[in-house]
Structure formats: structure tokens, C-alpha cells
Chain A
């Protein structure tokens, strides 16, 4: 409804102060416009803006079979490669079909995946980036999530993880102030805290000794900007903000932070022109922040409900109903709209007169008008989906940062995760908000761990059975 799909697309204006930031931004906006225009000028926009499921599926299945030599640099991130690939397939719904599951198991993929991950498990607990590598919280998180996805096919997959040693490892990484080192003699930041807590929570070992003081420490990483940084006094950043909020949500300590500045900062990280998110103030849009920033809004539901007693949602609903006009009323509406359009056009002409530097504008797309999206996510999810679908899909399959960048598994995973968060708002009674045809809808994720709900439910089921047996 906004962004450059809309006639009121706003290029970042220059103010006669030219600096690196400005030129970089301008370059990217021009590039994005070229991409968008392919869709925006098309009347059949709805049919055209499509998630290239089959291409992505092909790219991902090929990745399971083998990765090119250029991936060597990721040899200390093997659990990540597996997680990004499996999770992307899971979001796309590829893992849902029984036929696929059968083949997946028969061809030995599940076995191979479990074996590959097992080789990364350290004898002292936790997982490293590869065989015989030092245990590290990030690959530990990726491996745990991967096992969760695999437990959809083999319910005992999780049992490969030595939970007792895992807990020892987590406690060994923990500092007195509540922060976590990523590995022995390694750095400590909000990423460490999130990876540790997410892992512990999923494996149900998040006892007090793991969790205490961590919320307090994370709260010290909130900056004056409103977002969160890696450590106190650093710059607020999308990735660290997700880590901080997801971790606090696991701890149930979201009340420890300043919520309003956070919402303000986040809302402003969505880019006016592209609809995607930037990671930091005055930086460029990147598809991966669709999840790191866009996903954070998923955690505000309770807060917003409490704050507003749902009144605010009522306002949205009324506005939304007004725009969802039924067929019979369409004609009347069209007449009205025409008049409104004329009026608006006049307004625009006036505006143009005022604004000396007004850029060329795209044609309006009627359906975009008044589409509010989900009321409990305070960002424009339609525009975000527009950015992901129009600008981040590599035509060879896979997704990417921004136009002209190549695809990779990391961006494929986080663009799709962002797409899922923006389509599937959290309230059960509401319908998903989907840009384009219904077939663009992907599986819903559990934003705390960033695995699908299907995967997280299958883990829960495993532990239920385990506890019942004991």
C-alpha cells in the first residue's frame, strides 16, 4: 500500500548535503525502482507478483545434495547451512507432502542430516561449526533447530542431543553478569544470549541457573535510539534487536525495557521507498532484515493488547471493513472513488507545484488503497512482501539481499522467514495477509526459535512423550 508500488512513492530527498550515505541510498533506490516498475506498471499485478516456489525448491534441494566450492568459507558453519536449507524448505511447505517425506527418508536424507549434525556435537556438550571444531553457541542453535525440523520425520532425532552436557556447556559459556560468551575465549553479545536461551528453551533445560540475570543484562543493551546493540554503548542493529527481544520473550521479561522507543525505532527501520527494512539508521535495505526487524513485531501482541484494551484494533477493523466493499456496492464505490481520485489528483497537482523536486510517480494500483494488513503488526506487511517478492527473488531460484546481489542460503532463509512473519499475524482468528495470489502464502513460523510451528510442535510432542514415560 505504500512503498514504491504506490503512486506516492517517495525517493529519499536530497537536502543539498551530499555524503556517502546519500549516494549509496540513491543508487539502491534507482536499482529497486527498475525492478518494481516491472510489476507496478502491470494491471495484472496480483497475478504477476509471485513467489517462485518451484525455483526456490529446486535451489534448496540441490543445496541438500551438494554446495559449490565457493561455500568453503562457511566450513565453520555447517549446522547453519543445514538449518537455512531445511528451514527454507519447511517454510515453503515442501516438507509437508507425504510423498516428499517418504522420498526424503527413503533416499537417506534424514539419516545423512542427523549424521552430519552429530559429527558437530562436542564431547563436552554443544555443537561446533564442523567435525572436531570447538562448541559454539551459534552452530549449537542452528543444530538444535535443525534437529527440531528433522523430528518431523524422525521423532527421535532430538535424542541425539546430549541435554545434560548441553546444559553444562551453556552454563560454562555464561558470565556472572548474565551475558553469554559465544565460545570458550570468545566474544559475548546479545547473539550469545539469544542462541543460549533459544536452545535451552527448545530443549526444556531453561532452568533458573541458565536464565538468571540475562534479562537484566540484555536490557542494558537498549540504546538511546530505541533498538538493541551487541553490547552496551554500541549502535542499535536489527540482528541484535531480534536476539534481544526474542530472548526477553523467552524469559517473560519484556517489561524490563522501554517499549515505546523500541516500537518507534523499529517502525522507522522500514524503508519508505522499498518497503524492506534497513538494519541500522541511515543504512541500506537488506532482505534479511525482513525477519530480523519485521519478525520483532510479532512479540508485541500482548503488549499492544494490554496497552490499548484492543480499542486500537477496533479502529483498524472499522477502517478495514469500510474498504472491503462487497460486489454490489462496487459500482457505487467506483463512482465515489473516481470523484475522490479527481480530488486527489487536484491535490497532487497542487502538491507538485509546491514540491520543486517531485520525482516521477508510478500509477496507482487500486487494490492497494486502504489495504491495512494485520492490525497487530505495527508495520506495513504488504509493502514488505512487495519488496521480498519483487526485489529479492533471484531468477535462478533462491533469495537475496537486494537487486543485483546473488542468492545465498542465508538470505533465502531470512527473506522467507520475514515473508512468513508478515503474512501470518499471530492472532488465530484473523486471516493471513497475503500480497498477490493466495498461493504465495507460506507456512507459519514460531518466531521465538524461527522454526515452523509444525517443527516446534513436533519437538513439544517428543518431550511430552518423554515426560510421560518417566
Chain B
């Protein structure tokens, strides 16, 4: 008894030491990381400061065009919760913008002001919205607005307002010839930019710009075949947003296309999911061909579970006979072990497969 206590004490001691050491390690690593983050933040700050001093911002009180205007203070200066420590410049701009909104002011100065607001708050939807009203009321050159957006999209891409603004302006112009190029700018920086893809889909449908788009999707997939945005885009193009029937011929074409991609990069969920969508539309004969190809692929030992998952899918949904279901069950049991994070999901699948087999 005492022996074991001693031993326990010994263990505890060494454990304490270990913990101590771990704590130290942890702290050093964290501190290094923290420093890195702080340095990054510092750099950003310096950049911000220098850019601030670059454009010599002129206070509204010194701008002749705003003479006599009394800006509207936020919340009538009542104490706020979560108050932001605004810069003087920011406070002023917003005060004048509230004045413009409250008075529905239609003027050049108001138009210029919307840009100042947006440059501080890219998500200021009211400023974007008001800018559109002014574009119309002041009869502004919309092509010029498109050029402004083209420059702006370099800086800000992940923002609903910019894309909505572009959409409204282009819709009004009734001319979509620059829109592919515009999306390109954003997709060049981030090939998975969800706003840019979504906008492209709108523009293609709105202006009937289908030509060349399949090639475009292929180009993007060539760059990175794991780009799921490009994959879903292909689906949109190939069916012409559901207009083209997903018939056998098309399904076979898409299955072959995807298999080719998979042979080059097997660890690609985007392609496997895409394949599932099409394989369900082909005949049993062709399906068995694909099954064979997938089994061959799998035998090359790529350490990934997608081939098993795909086989389970076709066994369960297409081939369906008992011997196939048995195999599916076997694979599902395997995945339950090998893919522990989805243990419950695979248990659920197994439950169903067993039920199917019983019936």
C-alpha cells in the first residue's frame, strides 16, 4: 500500500515537472506566436498611419462646399454600449453623411461623400445604396462608375455591397461585356471567392454570356482541380442552369471528365462529389465500368477514403443487389474504424445498410 503511494508520489512529482515543462514550452511557443501576431498588427498599423498621412485629409470645417452645414451627431451623443473609439476624421465624415441621409440631399458633394464613407466602411450598405440613388438623380456617367469599381475590387473583394452595387449599375447599363473581366480580377487573387463566382453566374444568365464559359471552368480546374467553386460552376454551365437535360450522354461525358481528374489527384472531395451527381444518371453497365476504374484507383494505395465512400454510394443507390450491399456494409465498417471522426455517421450508414439487407 505504502509502496504504491510512494510510487504515486513519485509519479506525481515527475508529472508536476512535466507539466511545468509543458507550461514553459507552451508559453514560449505562445509568446513567439503572440509576438508574430503583434508584429503583424504593428505593421498594419504603421501602414494605416502612413496611408492616412499620405492623403492629406481636409476637415469639413475647411471645405467651402460644406459651409454652414451642421453634422448630425451619432445617437444625439447619448452614451452607448460597445462604443467605438472613432478617429476624429471618421466621426466627422459620418456626422455629415447622417446629415445627407436625413435631408435626402441630392448633390455633388453628397456623391463625393459616399466614397469617403465607403473607403472607411466598405460594408456601409446605406452609403452604397445612396450612391446608386445619386448616380441616377445626378445623371452620372455609369461607365465611369464601373471603372471606379474595377479599381476598388483590387482592395476589397469579400463584401456583399460592392458586388450588389456592380450588379445594379451593370443591370441599368444593360451591357455585360466587361463583367467576365471584372470577376477575373477578384478570382485572380482568390480563386474561390464566393461573391465573384456568384456574380459571374448572375452576369452569364442576365446577358446570355454562355460562350467560352465551359473552357473557363476547365481552365480554373486545371489551375487547381480541387477548386470546388469551379466544380460547381461547371455544373451550372454544363446544364445551362437546368435548361439542358441531364441525359445519359451528358452524364457519361461528365463521369469520364471527372474520372480523368481523379486519376491525377485522388484526394479531391470536390471531384468525388461531382462524380456522384452524374453517376446516378448513367446506366448500370457504364456504372460497373466506373466501379472497376475506381477499384483500380484505390488499389494504388493513395491513403484516402473517398474511393470507398464512392463505392458505398453506387452500391447503395445504383447496383443495389445483395452482394453489392454486403460489400457496401463491409466498406462502411472499415471506414467506421479508419475514419474515426465520422464514427457516428458511419454507424448510422451501417444501420441503414443492414436494414436494407434485411428487407
Contact = CB atoms under 8 A, between A and B. Distances in A.
Interface of A: 1-3, 6, 8, 12-17, 19-22, 34, 38, 41-44, 48, 63-69, 71-78, 81-82, 85, 108-109, 112-113, 115-116, 119, 128-134, 136, 182-187, 223-226, 230-237, 263-265, 267-268, 270-272, 275, 280-283, 304, 308, 311-312, 315-316, 354-357, 372-373, 375, 377-380, 383, 395-396, 403-404, 406
B81 to A, nearest CB: 4
Contacts of A34: 29
Report the 10 A-B pairs with minimum CB-CB distance, sorted nearest first: A17-B265, A2-B341, A2-B340, A21-B226, A19-B224, A281-B228, A267-B345, A224-B277, A119-B75, A113-B81
Contacts of A403: 33
Interface string B100-121: 0110000000000000000011
B101 A224 contact: no
A2 B343 contact: yes
B304 interface: yes
Interface string B320-359: 0000000000000000000111111101100100000000
A382 B231 CA distance: 32
Interface string B75-119: 110111111111100100010001001100000000000000000
B54 to A, nearest CB: 18
A76 B86 contact: no
A6 B232 CA distance: 34
16 contacts: A2-B339, A6-B340, A15-B267, A20-B223, A20-B224, A67-B84, A75-B84, A116-B78, A119-B75, A119-B76, A136-B125, A182-B125, A280-B194, A312-B347, A396-B34, A404-B36
A85 B264 CA distance: 47
B260 interface: no
A178 B198 CA distance: 20
B81 A3 contact: no
A282 B81 contact: no
Given A19-B226, A282-B227, A312-B348, A233 B201 contact: yes
A210 to B, nearest CB: 22
A233 B225 CA distance: 19
A185 B84 contact: no
Contacts of B18: 42-43
B298 interface: no
A44 B19 contact: yes
A119 B266 CA distance: 55
B194 A234 contact: yes
B120 A72 contact: yes
Contacts of A283: 192, 228
A20 B191 contact: yes
A378 B90 contact: no
B37 A404 contact: yes
B86 A233 contact: no
Nearest to B99: A132
A112 B80 contact: yes
